[in-house]
Amino acid sequence: AELRKQATAIPMRENVDTKGLPPALNLKKIRKQFGDHEVLKQIDMQIKIGEVVSIIGPSGSGKTTLIRTINLLESLNGGEVVLFGEDFIKGGQKPNSKTVRQGLQRIGMVFQSFNLFPHKTALENIMLAPRYHGKPQDKEVNRNQALYLLDRVGLLAHADKYPHQLSGGQQQRVAIARTLALSPDIILFDEPTSALDPEMVGEVLKVIQDLAKEGMTLVIVTHEMDFALSVSDRVVMMEHGVVQADASPAEITNANSETPDLLRAKQFMGIES
């Protein structure tokens, strides 16, 4: 209770009217190859502000590479990424460091393997994030916001624990709180539950679902098909480096032989006809 009094809310996105605004992300013909292996073949994809998009597909289809290119963890060989209507990355060009820095501040990423600092507590891991990303804060504000974020992911009572004292699900919730500490406008999730024991998947999906309800723009690479259907505005299925299907959950669920691309996605998702 004492900690909760100190926790200070971070103002979350207001319900702004996003009609007429450019998409949060606009991927135009993006290409990526590793050696001779073309992993992304001219991918076009738009993600609107506030939209929740799940990316599914067989292993090796390019899902992880796709979201890593958006975050500059992989370079692009071709095409471009436009972020909130502004030029961000162009394939084959050296990124402009100022544009990149500003753009990256708007994009949060949550990894499969949490990537917490092992020798820092849950609270410290979150507190470190803003400074680490060039957004230093007043000390007290920093701590109180970190407490607030821990509370949001249901872990206030674990503030002083180290990662090894937490379950995988708890560590991933800390990692999500850490990403939120950067006040991103978009969060990319790279298979956030695939390193977890089954009984911990639900608690992490719940946190992601709460973010979706609040209107955060989310791109989620996932193998959790029920989750993808329930949380997403759109499901994008990738296969062999191309977009096989890009449709709403309802459109995929209702697919039939007249919509073969969607039917493929429906079968992949294990949805019964």
Taking residue 134's Cβ as centre, other Cβ atoms within 10 Å add up to 11
Residue 60 binds ligand ADP, judged by CB under 6 A: yes
Applying CB under 6 A, which of residues 7, 39, 147, 156 lies at the interface with ligand ADP? 39
Residue among 4 and 240 whose Cβ is closer to ligand ADP: 240
Applying CB under 6 A, which of residues 31, 48, 63, 173 lies at the interface with ligand ADP? 63
Residue 193 binds ligand ADP, judged by CB under 6 A: no
Applying CB under 6 A, which of residues 25, 30, 45, 61 lies at the interface with ligand ADP? 61
Q: DSSP letters along 195-247, please?
A: TS-HHHHHHHHHHHHHHHHTT-EEEEE-S-HHHHHHH-SEEEEEETTEEEEEE
Residue 59 binds ligand ADP, judged by CB under 6 A: yes
We find the least distance from the C-beta atom of residue 258 to ligand ADP, in angstroms, to be: 28
Of 244, 223, 222, 245, the C-alpha closest to 234 is 245
- Which one of 53-61, 78-86, 149-157, 164-172 is the stretch in contact with ligand ADP (CB under 6 A)? 53-61
We find the least distance from the C-beta atom of residue 207 to ligand ADP, in angstroms, to be: 22
- Exposure b/e, 75-96, CB count within 10 A at least 16 = b: ebbbbbbbbbeeebbbbeeebe
Find out whether 221 and 190 touch, Cβ atoms under 8 Å: yes
- Return the structure tokens found at 55: 């990316």
We find the least distance from the C-beta atom of residue 74 to ligand ADP, in angstroms, to be: 7
Residue among 90 and 223 whose Cβ is closer to ligand ADP: 223
Residue 228 binds ligand ADP, judged by CB under 6 A: no
Residue among 64 and 244 whose Cβ is closer to ligand ADP: 64
Residue among 89 and 166 whose Cβ is closer to ligand ADP: 89
Q: How far apart are CA 57 and CA 100, in angstroms?
A: 29
Phi, psi of 263, deg, nearest 5: -65, -40
Q: Which residue has the tokens 């998702």?
A: 269
Interface residues for ligand ADP in 64-123 (CB under 6 A)?
A: 64-65
Which residues are at the interface with ligand ADP (CB under 6 A)?
34, 39, 57, 59-65
